[in-house]
Amino acid sequence: MPNWTRRGFIGSLPGFAAASLAAPQRSGRAPIKITDLKCAIIGGSPVVRVVTDQGISGYGQAESRKPYLKPMVMFYKNYILGEDPTDVERVLMRIRKMGAFKPWGSAVSAIEIALWDIAGQAAGVPVYKLLGGKIRDKVRGYNGGIRFPMKGQTPQDYAENTAKMKESKEGFTLIKQACGFHSPAMMRAIPGGWYDEPRSGAPHGDRGMLTERGLKEIILRVEAMKKVLGDEVGLALDCGPGWMPKDAIRFARALEPLNIAWLEDLIAGDYTPYTSADVFRDVTTSTSVPIHTGEQIYLRQNFKELIERQAVNVVGPDPEDVGGISETKWIAEYADLHGILMAPHGIFDGLIGLAAHVHLAAAMPQNFIGFEYPVPEQAWWYQIVDGLPDPIMKKGFIDVWDKPGLGVTFNVAAAKARLSEEDRGFFD
Q: Is 330 part of any domain?
A: yes
- In this structure, of 15-19, 81-85, 355-359, 422-426, the range with the lowest mean pLDDT score is 15-19
Tell me: the pLDDT tens digits for 307-317? Answer: 999 999 999 99
> What's the number of CA atoms in the CB half-sphere (13 Å) around residue 253?
10
pLDDT at 226 over 60: yes
Same domain (yes/no): 388, 243: yes
Cis peptide leading into 365, omega within 30 of 0?
no
Q: Are 317 and 367 in contact (CB under 8 A)?
A: no
pLDDT at 13 over 60: no
- How high is the pLDDT of residue 17? 45
Same domain (yes/no): 88, 168: no
Q: Is 256 part of any domain?
A: yes
In whole angstroms, give the CA distance from residue 387 to residue 409.
7
- How high is the pLDDT of residue 19? 41
Tell me: the pLDDT tens digits for 373-391? Answer: 999 999 999 999 999 999 9
- How high is the pLDDT of residue 422? 97
Cis peptide leading into 198, omega within 30 of 0?
no
Same domain (yes/no): 165, 313: yes
- How high is the pLDDT of residue 202? 86
Q: Is 408 part of any domain?
A: no
pLDDT at 6 over 90: no
Same domain (yes/no): 282, 360: yes
- How high is the pLDDT of residue 29? 66
**Residue 345, domain CATH:** 3.20.20.120
Average of per-residue pLDDT across 59-71: 96
Name the average pLDDT for the chain.
94
- How high is the pLDDT of residue 374? 98
**Residue 55, domain CATH:** 3.30.390.10
**The three-state (H, E, C) secondary structure of the chain, written as one string:** CCCHHHHCCHHHCCCCHHHHHHHHHCCCCCCCCEEEEEEEEECCEEEEEEEECCCCEEEEECCCCCCCCHHHHHHCHHHHCCCCCCCHHHHHHHHHHHCCCCCHHHHHHHHHHHHHHHHHHHHCCEHHHHCCCCCCCEEEEEECCCCCCCCCCCHHHHHHHHHHHHCCCCCCCEEEEECHHHCHHHHHCCCCCECCCCCCCCCCCCCECECHHHHHHHHHHHHHHHHHHCCCCEEEEECCCCECHHHHHHHHHHHHHHCCCCEECCCCCCCCCCCCHHHHHHHHCCCCCCEEECCCCCCHHHHHHHHHCCCCCEECCCHHHHCCHHHHHHHHHHHHHCCCEECCCCCCCHHHHHHHHHHHHHHCCCCECCEECCCCCCCCHHHHEECCCCCCCECCEEECCCCCECCCEECHHHHHCCCCHHHCCCCC
- How high is the pLDDT of residue 48? 98
- How high is the pLDDT of residue 2? 38
pLDDT at 195 over 60: yes
Same domain (yes/no): 214, 263: yes
Q: At what angle do helices 104-123 and 325-337 cross, to 10 degrees?
A: 100
> What's the number of CA atoms in the CB half-sphere (13 Å) around residue 210?
25
Q: Is 428 part of any domain?
A: no
- Domain range for 112 is 4-27+34-130+414-423
Q: Which of 218, 162, 209, 160 is nearest to 190 (CA)?
A: 218
Torsion sign over Cα 324, 330, 334, 336? positive
In whole angstroms, give the CA distance from residue 381 to residue 58.
18
Average of per-residue pLDDT across 247-272: 97
Side chain identity, residue 416:
K
Q: How confident is the model at residue 166 (pLDDT cuts 50, 70, 90)?
A: very high
Total of domains in the chain: 2
pLDDT at 286 over 90: yes
Q: Are 394 and 137 in contact (CB under 8 A)?
A: no
Over pLDDT 70: what percentage of the chain?
93
Q: How confident is the model at residue 271 (pLDDT cuts 50, 70, 90)?
A: confident
- How high is the pLDDT of residue 30? 80
Same domain (yes/no): 142, 252: yes
Higher pLDDT among residues 27 and 76, named by residue: 76
Same domain (yes/no): 217, 182: yes
Same domain (yes/no): 270, 186: yes
Q: Is 384 part of any domain?
A: yes
Over pLDDT 90: what percentage of the chain?
91
Same domain (yes/no): 212, 359: yes
Q: Are 391 and 335 in contact (CB under 8 A)?
A: no
Same domain (yes/no): 118, 146: no
In whole angstroms, give the CA distance from residue 133 to residue 419.
36
pLDDT at 1 over 50: no
Q: Is 313 part of any domain?
A: yes
Same domain (yes/no): 161, 50: no
Strand partners, 45: 42
Tell me: the pLDDT tens digits for 15-28? Answer: 444 444 444 444 55
Average of per-residue pLDDT across 30-37: 95
Same domain (yes/no): 271, 394: yes
Contacts of 216 (CB under 8 A, 6+ apart): none
In whole angstroms, give the CA distance from residue 252 to residue 209.
15
Tell me: the pLDDT tens digits for 77-136? Answer: 999 999 999 999 999 999 999 999 988 999 999 999 999 999 999 999 999 999 999 999
pLDDT at 14 over 70: no
Burial 119-148 (b: 16+ CB within 10 A, else e): bbbbbebbbbbbbbebeeebbbbbbbbeee
Tell me: the pLDDT tens digits for 133-160? Answer: 999 999 999 999 999 999 999 999 999 9
Tell me: the pLDDT tens digits for 394-416? Answer: 999 999 999 999 999 999 999 99
